[in-house]
Amino acid sequence: MRAVARMVGTRRMRSLGLALAVILGGTAGAVVPLATAAGASGSSPSMTLRATGTQARVPSVVLVARLGGRASSPATQAGVSVTFSVGVDEFAGRPRLLLGSGTTDAAGVARFVYHPTWTGRQDFVASVTDATGTLVAQATTTFVVTAAVPPTLSAEATRPDGTLGRYVVGVLLAILVLLWIVLVTVLVRVHRVAGRQPRQAA
């Protein structure tokens, strides 16, 4: 299990002294401790990482973002809204899908339980913005999802008459073949009796 959390700092973020980590845990039915390392950049504060998991009955990825840092106090770390998103690989440009958000507790930890709908390597992003919408902190991590929630929308339509139709076609074909056999037989028999002409040449 590989999980990488990376700290991406901006100048503003640094000035705020915020740090954010994303911790990924998973998955279905089992708590799998995940330990990842986070690197702080520049003047950012130190990071702590914690592995979490859930007992959820559906495949889950637990995203845990921890704000930390020198300049921050527990008072400022609490109540910060962290949004979580994932990069969608199947579309060019890997647009980010907003998963949801969590609010940090007094320890500066925001949790989000994500039920992945596709498997494979996924890039998660946690970000914090200020009141004006400006990004103040962001962190990404990569995680290989091995089990996904079965899709709910792609049930194929079925027709109750599909099987029936097959037999109808079979019967009709049999009738068709029979008709041809009868007609050709009639033609051949009559022609054999009437048309063959050995003696009565004109």
Within residues 117-156, the interface with another protein by CB under 8 A covers: 117-120, 144, 146-156
Residue of 9, 17, 26, 108 that binds another protein (CB under 8 A)? 26
Q: Is 165 helix (H, G, I), strand (E, B) or coil?
A: helix
| Pick 30 or 106: Cβ nearer another protein | 30
Whole-angstrom distance, CA of residue 179 vs CA of residue 174: 9
Residue of 73, 95, 103, 106 that binds another protein (CB under 8 A)? 95
Alpha carbon distance, N-terminus to C-terminus of the chain: 97
The kind and range of the H/E element at 12 are: helix 11-16
Task: Rule CB under 8 A: say whether 55 interacts with another protein.
Answer: no
Residue of 29, 40, 107, 142 that binds another protein (CB under 8 A)? 29
Residue of 75, 131, 132, 201 that binds another protein (CB under 8 A)? 201
Whole-angstrom distance, CA of residue 196 vs CA of residue 194: 6
Alpha-carbon torsion, ordered 146, 147, 152, 158, to 10 deg: 90
Contact 127, 82 (CB under 8 A): yes
Task: Rule CB under 8 A: say whether 166 interacts with another protein.
Answer: yes
Task: Rule CB under 8 A: say whether 98 interacts with another protein.
Answer: yes
Judged by CB under 8 A, the chain residues 171 through 190 that form the site for another protein are 171-174, 176-177, 179-180, 182-184, 186-187, 189-190
